[in-house]
Structure 1
């Protein structure tokens, strides 16, 4: 068997991965285990058993500890104090506990937001469930985001947020700050337009950038 298999590359569930790990360790076969869920989003809660003799032949890509280290280094270098982490239903957020603990010790304000298949629903639900005052306080957090989504989900998310050619800013302001005090269901374009408003109303106020991190912070969406 060792002469017929040079290496084994798998992408299975945790139980199967542990069984294959025992086999490849016993047969001394290099084993690359790609951790992912069926939807393509990275897995965070699949931990392999330590090899009894200390000679591990299984290498897990996207291991939880590395994901957390990369994200922590990212937000530290970007000097983000407040940000939101968007994740889909396939992502097991239990693996983020160590990241959240470290972020808390650093005094970072981290919010978690689950994303369903209807990406636009994420934005509209924020306006239908939160009061204007809450949104104004939350706005700075929404400018910085880490996407823990599948490649398809991240692509749809960025397209939804970054879709240009929106109408005048006054229309978004009117929808957000109506006389009734309530919030209307807004399109993602109005949401982005509202986020681009200066936080201060004075003449020296500058429009801030929308900083969106795609695929675990590997790329930042540039300003258009």
Structure 2
């Protein structure tokens, strides 16, 4: 039993936990979008991707354990996006910037496949992942609304914590169906309380004054 647990939670998985924790911490830093290109903060998120990259390489070399794809045709979609991004970077007029953005995109892909292969191991179940995304949604919406009154009168658009109002609105639009469906999956007073908390997200999207965010909110309303 001890050998099984030791094999299940190895050093590479702890590295992955550290990398994921770094990325989550960076996401909630004020104006993290601008810190992505600021020294020395740039090393923080790059370090998180680097640790998760090591974890993914170790996973690929564990031949006694199947490496799980995303499934449902999503791997083909990821491959198509990767090919399109590579071609765009090759033919881009500013290749240096393009390949830096390409490296960031591949970092997101690494996170996606690491999380997929963690599912089913120990506490990494889809229910816990679902619950974690709900907590992140509430945390981001609350922190963003708390920062909103502190903005200067000239700029009344909610831009915290990501640093840009369009990004905050887009992120909350993606989280809204996840949080709403989680609330509906509950029963009794818990469902009622979570539905009230879910209302924070569309309110926050409205305070972002993002046209794209409002369009996304409208599409979810008619879906």
Q: Give TM-score scaled by structure 1 length.
A: 0.29
Q: Larger % of helix: which?
A: 2
Higher fraction of strand: 1
TM-score (norm 2): 0.29
Give the greater-gyration-radius structure (CA): 1
